[in-house]
Amino acid sequence: MEMNIHGLRYRVQVKGRGTAILLLHGFTGSGDNWDSLVPYFTPHFRTIQVDLLGHGRTESPGDSKRYTVEHAVADLAAILDELGEERVHLLGYSMGGRLALSFAMINPDRVGRLILESSSPGLKTKEERNERIARDQALADQIETEGMAPFVERWENLPLFASQQRLPEKIREAIHNQRLENDPKGLANSLRGMGTGKQPSWWESLPQFNIPIMLLVGELDTKFQGIAREMMKWLPKGRMETIPGAGHTIHVEEPQHFGTIVMDFLQEEV
């Protein structure tokens, strides 16, 4: 369905019944990225798949200031209001995980359980943030100048996604085509507005984060394993699961294992 949220067109897919799970995709993705996981959830939960601003079939406004984390969180809250969902579980991957954590920090009463896949609370120091902002700005300019095809080619060959090369060709082709469908202006402004350097750093707030949270990382993704281990030192109700044989995109590379772990976590007795 299409929803008008704060003057912009959002694409939202809703399936199943029961307590809702809001699913947030990563950079270059869309809500469709969760399609293989939805059957694990819908027997017991209502799934909400959102194409985030600048991605998929959601609108791509020209002003990068509209893409801030604060605006994105407010948009998600408005979507939940429209759907009559006061409180949901949240599952976010990479960029979507950063947004999910931000939503939970800003709206703690609206989140039951939080699952972060291959994600982080942002960067700790101003110097790190400024360096990342400059890199993301350069990448954003490159996307707009060169277009989607050269960018996607380089993106898919980053070491972070090397483990995706083991996926069946049909799946890799589907992911590739989905990425190409994005609007270069939307991806560029997403980097400018809510890249890792621009988002709030939540590290110092983690000890006050008092809802159950699961951190999922792939065995081959050493960078995000380190981030998750550091987060675990500060989370009162955190747990970490490392998925054997998986890289950064666990839900794509090991969907059955991923779906089972998430369902077990969501159905635990409080």
Instruction: Encode pLDDT of 66-107 as tens digits.
Output: 999 999 999 999 999 999 999 999 999 999 999 999 999 999
CB distance 121 to 201 below 8 Å: yes
The percent of residues above 90 in pLDDT, for the chain, comes to 97
Mean pLDDT of 132-148: 96
Q: Encode pLDDT of 205-259 as tens digits.
A: 999 988 999 999 999 999 999 999 999 999 999 999 999 999 999 999 999 999 9
Average pLDDT of the residues in 6-22? 97
What is residue 269's predicted lDDT score, i.e. its pLDDT? 65
Class of domain 2-266: alpha beta
Residue 57 CA: distances (Å) to CA of 1, 62, 199: 10, 15, 23
pTM assigned to the model: 0.97
Q: Does position 270 have pLDDT exceeding 80, yes or no?
A: no
Q: Above 90 in pLDDT, residue 268? A: no
Count CB neighbours of 190 within 10 A. 27
Residue 208, CA distances (Å) to 87, 111, 204, 205, 238 in order: 19, 14, 9, 6, 12
Domain residue ranges of the chain, discontinuous segments joined by +: 2-266
C-alpha of 221 from chain center: 16
What pLDDT is attached to residue 183?
A: 97
Contacts of 220 (CB under 8 A, 6+ apart): 162, 163, 245, 246, 247
pLDDT in tens, 141-175: 999 999 999 999 999 999 999 999 899 999 999 99
Q: Which residue has the tokens 């897919």?
A: 13
Name the token pair of 74: 């407010």
- Encode pLDDT of 172-205 as tens digits: 999 999 999 999 999 999 999 999 999 999 999 9
Question: Average pLDDT, whole number, for the chain?
Answer: 96
State mean pLDDT over 36-59: 96
SS3 state of residue 239: strand
